[in-house]
Structure 1
Amino acid sequence: MSKYIEIIRIRFLMMLAYRTNYYTGIVIYTINIGAYYFLWKAIYGHQGSIQGVSVNQMTTYVAIAWMARAFYFNNLDREIAEEIVEGKVAIELIRPYNYLLTKVMQGLGEGIFRFFFFSIPGFILVALIFRLDVSFNLKTLGLFLIASVFSFTINTQLNLLTGLMAFFLQNNMGFIQAKRVIIDLFSGLTIPITFFPVWAQDVMKYLPFQGISYIPSMIFAEGMKGELILRGLLFQVIWISILCIPITLIWYKAKKHLVIQGG
Structure 2
Amino acid sequence: MHSKTWIWLGISAVLILAAANLAILTAFPPGQQHAQEPLKRVNWILPFGPGFEYRGPCESPVIVYDGVNETWRLQNAAAWNRTISLDDRYSLDPAHPEDIRYTPDILVEGDRISLDFFIRNLAGENCAHADLTVTTGTASLNATTGSPEGDVLPGAATALPVDDLAAGEWREVRVTADLPRPGPEELLYLTIGLAAPYTLTTPNGTPIIFDLREMSSVASGPTLTGGDAIDPDYNRARLPRASATFVVAGKDAPEPVLPPTLRAV
Shared fold, TM over 0.5: no
Category of TM-score, reference length = shorter chain? under 0.3
- Bigger proportion of residues as strand: 2
Which of these two proteins has the greater Rg computed from alpha carbons?
A: 2
- Bigger proportion of residues as helix: 1
- Please, what TM-score do these two structures have when normalized by structure 1? 0.25
